């Protein structure tokens, strides 16, 4: 006996527990805030080390990327993300995770066809659309300043 689309939807709805949206939002806010607080702490640490503003910004970003890549590699970041939800998508940590995860997943297929071909599978479209959008914005800005 075949099920119809409506029956399947009802069956799926009954099998899936409702998501506690308020609780998820609070956890995402707290974890995202914690990630940002860690970044701010790194900035203060690098400032105390006597670095200039450009070095501080660069080192803070690089440190967060490396920490996220390491935590993703050892499987810790995924456990954090299970609890934090969207809070781990703070742009820099989410980007690092989206590059490292596919690289780890496809490493058994080799460095070229596995890691190299799949590393930017998730992050690639974001990079492409971000680059294109910034170019379009730049052209519009340039044209509007001509007049």
In a domain, residue 35? The reply is yes
User: Is 77 domain-assigned?
Assistant: yes
- Determine contact, residues 93/71, Cβ cutoff 8 Å: no
Q: In which domain, by residue range, is 48 found?
A: 22-146
State how many domains the chain has: 1
- pTM attached to this predicted model: 0.70
For residue 14, tell me if it sits in a domain: no
Q: Is residue 6 part of a domain?
A: no
Tens-place pLDDT, residues 85-124: 888 888 788 888 888 888 777 777 777 777 777 777 777 7
Is 2 a member of any domain? Answer: no
**Integer Cα distance of 65 and 73 in angstroms:** 12
Q: Is position 8 within any domain? A: no
DSSP 121: T
């Amino acid at each position: 006996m075949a099920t119809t689309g409506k029956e399947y939807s009802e069956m799926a709805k009954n099998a899936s527990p409702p998501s506690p949206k308020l609780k998820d939002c609070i956890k995402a806010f707290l974890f995202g805030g914690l990630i940002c607080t860690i970044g701010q702490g790194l900035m203060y640490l690098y400032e105390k080390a006597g670095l200039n503003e450009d070095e501080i910004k660069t080192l803070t970003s690089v440190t967060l990327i490396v920490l996220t890549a390491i935590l993703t590699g050892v499987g810790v970041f995924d456990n954090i993300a299970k609890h934090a939800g969207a809070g781990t998508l703070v742009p820099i940590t989410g980007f690092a995770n989206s590059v490292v995860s596919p690289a780890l997943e496809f490493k058994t297929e080799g460095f070229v066809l596995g890691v190299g071909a799949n590393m930017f599978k998730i992050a690639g479209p974001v990079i492409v659309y971000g680059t294109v959008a910034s170019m379009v914005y730049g052209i519009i800005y340039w044209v509007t300043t001509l007049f």
